[in-house]
A and B are shown apart, each in its own frame.
Chain A
Amino acid sequence: MAPDDIDRTFVAFERVQKSYDGVTLVVKDLNLAIARGEFLTMLGPSGSGKTTCLMMLAGFETATHGEIRLGGRPITTVPPHRRGIGMVFQNYALFPHLTVGENLAFPLEVRGIGRAEREAKIARALDMVQMKGFAGRRPGQLSGGQQQRIALARALVFDPALVLMDEPLGALDKQLREHMQFEIKHLHERLGITVVYVTHDQGEALTMSDRIAVFNDGVIQQLAAPEVLYEQPMNSFVASFIGENNTLDGTVETIAGERCTVRLDGGTVIDARPVNVSRQGVRTRVSIRPERVEVRPERLPRGVHLVEAEVLEFIYMGDIFRVRLNVAGNDDFVMKYRNAPDAVRLVPGARIQIGWRPEDCRALDAA
């Protein structure tokens, strides 16, 4: 997706602010352009403002300041029922007194669609979520996963161009959740709809999204494709929120282009890539993924600094090994490597040399 392609922008938040109490802002100056057909996820911890943004888009909350546009048209004064946005709620919100078929018929009836067309659309929507033959059941008679599918079908049955999903998989168990992630993803690809998805589950966000907006404290911390977000976090919040991450604090010692060296607080010097540090002498927090730590330093390019580490714990996890180390005073430093035939098995108490490629270690803002 090309986020800066103005013509393809479908949903736009412009300088949107939201306050509930007139004292604090839950959403601070939000600018976001969502392209037609995009799957965008708003990811963040609870209270970060992501659900508020979704509710403003759906029309259940009004923006305190700024403008939201849908298809180029400002929608601030448009009531929710005229926005034509499909929505899947956290606990599905299927109407318990109506059957599945009646639930699906509801959005069509209020639009004055005739019976024959209604039934065709309902059949198609049920088929789409593989729930054919369930039209006569009541929501209470369905399992969580089935209710989830019906909620999805109901949000799609009236062919909205935009579908909002508010943590729709939160109530499902892990296996079902992963299965549904793929189904939603496939539906999105097949129907070409625009999806705005809210979750606090980063795995879900990484699996499904075209782009992810990481929210914290009412501000988008980073807006990028999943792989960019994972591999090139722009600040320490994103680095720590997405995936597992090791952090070490220190001071920038030398800086030259794409390389810098950092003297950790324990005195050790390491190599890193400067991301948002610009000059020598500033405090920084470096971040490195556990799977990018090299247990066999001889595989690294010549000249990189190696670090001494003490093995605290060695966990056999089947396909990988997970090792907890003490590195420069941080005894929560985690390293993961594949269970290959020639992989070394470490014993607690051993002292080893580890290292990493300078570009895998990112020098971020000091948190």
Chain B
Amino acid sequence: MAEPGAAALTTADGMPLRAALARASRRARLRAALLVAPLLLFVLVSFVWPIGQMLLRSVNNVQFAANMPELTAWFAANPRGTPVDEAAFAALAADLRLAAASRTVGTVGTRINYELPGSRSLFTATGRAAGGLEPPYREALLALNPDWGREELWTVMRGASARYTANFYLAALDLRRDAGGGIVRVAPEQRVYVSLFLRTFALSAVITVVCLALGFPVAHLLATLPVRRANMLMILVLLPFWTSLLVRTSSWIVLLQGQGVVNNVLVALGIVDEGGRLSMMYNQTGTIVAMTHILLPFMILPLYSVMKTIPPAYARAARSLGATSWTTFRRIYLPLTVPGIGAGAMLVFILAVGYYITPALVGGASGQLISNQIAFHMQNTLNWSLAAALAALLLAAVLLLYWLYDRLVGIDNMKLG
């Protein structure tokens, strides 16, 4: 305490009390810091650093500026709206010549190709001929390929010349810059990501609700059964955790596909005829079924740990006070399980939003989620910046959700187990 007399306090041998306390606790603090140091290091290396890299890459834009220095300088010197003059074409020609010599013209072409499909070949073809270009460069380039005169191309190149850009985020939201630099939606047939985000959230919400509906009674049973039988049931709940994800997903394929077990049984029983086999696999149904199965324990466990702490006396008290069993559930039991519902729903939803393997295996075309698109850009188009922007948007959405939850329910109300 900062009382006037406190400063003068000393230990028995005359040492200031504050210093003595600091010295006494220093060793303990140091040891505690050493104990957590490995984990801290691990988290930094495996979590904070990669996420930082991802966020950086989602705005990073050096491929163009690094390889096209003169044109980048021209863009910097002339604001948007300046007519593309001979100086600009001269800079372009010089840069193309340089890029062709250092074999980076493909990189530049790829970068422009992200936003203007078909541009890569324009760059590589012109690059091969760049050595023979003579002034006036405007005419020379347009003679080589009239596409060099397209206003759209110059808008894209201007956008690509900045070191940092929001263009990947625009692309991830189905937006682009028009010639004047304004933000517009892309052509309807190119709009993919927004609907995919919406589908991802909708499917995750459905999976969360199904998990809650299926998990709530099981968790209640677990919490109220005698210990021996509850342990048995708990093993059954945890069983999916001990089985490979691939095995579990594949067994759903075996069960649900067109010629699968479920359809065969239905046909054999005459419930559906041969032509009317249900399509439960390689679509949204397949994704929902398989992901619900995999994520169910994440709902049951927090619910169980909360229900375990609710004494049966509450329900009895409510009944003795005149409440029917439904009122008792609605007014007393359900509100008391909210921390578990919140924790379980958050866990399942966040895991579902980022799920990749299962939708990739059983989702078909309509059951794909945003993470499959991220993987696509990572592995096929190699547009890592777009992948990073999509991932960052996903992260932002989850954080927003978390914030909403905190506002509505309160994070300290959440009980993970």
Contact = CB atoms under 8 A, between A and B. Distances in A.
Interface of A: 58-60, 79-87, 89-91, 93-97, 106-107, 110-111, 154-155, 158, 164
Given A93-B314, A97-B335, A106-B331, A85 B320 contact: yes
A93 B311 contact: yes
24 contacts: A59-B319, A79-B319, A80-B319, A81-B320, A81-B323, A82-B322, A84-B322, A86-B320, A87-B317, A87-B321, A89-B313, A89-B316, A93-B311, A93-B316, A93-B317, A94-B317, A95-B317, A106-B321, A106-B323, A106-B331, A110-B323, A110-B324, A110-B327, A158-B322
A107 B314 CA distance: 13
Nearest to A84: B322
Contacts of B311: 91, 93
A357 to B, nearest CB: 48
B262 interface: no
Contacts of B321: 81, 86-87, 106-107, 110, 154-155, 158
Interface string B280-319: 0000000000000000000000000000000101101111
Nearest to B335: A97
Given A93-B311, A158-B321, A60 B316 contact: yes
B336 interface: yes
Contacts of A82: 322
A60 B319 CA distance: 9
Contacts, number: 65
Contacts of B317: 87, 89, 93-95
A350 to B, nearest CB: 53
A142 B313 CA distance: 19
Nearest to A89: B313
A97 B331 CA distance: 10
B41 to A, nearest CB: 40
A102 B136 CA distance: 87
Given A95-B332, A97-B336, A106-B331, A58 B313 contact: no
Q: Say which size band chain B's interface belongs to.
A: 10 to 19
B320 A58 contact: yes
B320 A106 contact: no
Nearest to A90: B313
A95 B314 CA distance: 7
Contacts of A97: 335-336
Task: From B311, B320, B335, name the one whose CB has the most chain A CB atoms within 10 angstroms.
Answer: B320
Contacts of A90: 313
Nearest to B316: A60
A107 B313 contact: no
A60 B312 CA distance: 11
Main secondary structure of the interface of A (DSSP, over half): loop
A85 B324 CA distance: 14
A110 B314 contact: no
B396 to A, nearest CB: 33
Nearest to B314: A93
A80 B320 contact: yes
Contacts of B327: 110
A295 B313 CA distance: 51
A107 B319 CA distance: 9
Contacts of A154: 321
Contacts of A59: 319-320
A81 B316 contact: no
B337 to A, nearest CB: 10
A110 B316 contact: no
Contacts of B332: 95
A84 B322 CA distance: 7
B308 to A, nearest CB: 15
Contacts of A106: 318, 321, 323, 331
B225 to A, nearest CB: 16
A90 B317 CA distance: 11
Given A85-B320, A93-B311, A107-B323, 5 more contacts: A59-B320, A81-B321, A81-B322, A87-B320, A154-B321
A158 B321 CA distance: 8
Which residue, A83, A95, A111, has most C-beta atoms of chain B within 10 A?
Answer: A95
Contacts of B319: 59-60, 79-81
B135 to A, nearest CB: 81
Nearest to A107: B321
B67 to A, nearest CB: 63
A149 to B, nearest CB: 16
Q: Which 9 A-B pairs have the closest CB atoms?
A: A107-B321, A93-B317, A93-B313, A87-B320, A80-B319, A110-B323, A110-B322, A89-B313, A97-B335
A62 to B, nearest CB: 14
A59 B325 CA distance: 13
B325 to A, nearest CB: 8
A106 to B, nearest CB: 6
Contacts of B313: 89-91, 93
A84 to B, nearest CB: 7
Contacts of A85: 320
Nearest to B328: A81
Among A81, A107, A155, chain B packs the most CB atoms within 10 A around the CB of A81
A143 B335 CA distance: 23
B319 to A, nearest CB: 4
Nearest to A96: B336
Contacts of B318: 95, 106
A160 to B, nearest CB: 9
Nearest to B313: A93
A355 B209 CA distance: 80
A344 B321 CA distance: 58
A95 B327 CA distance: 14
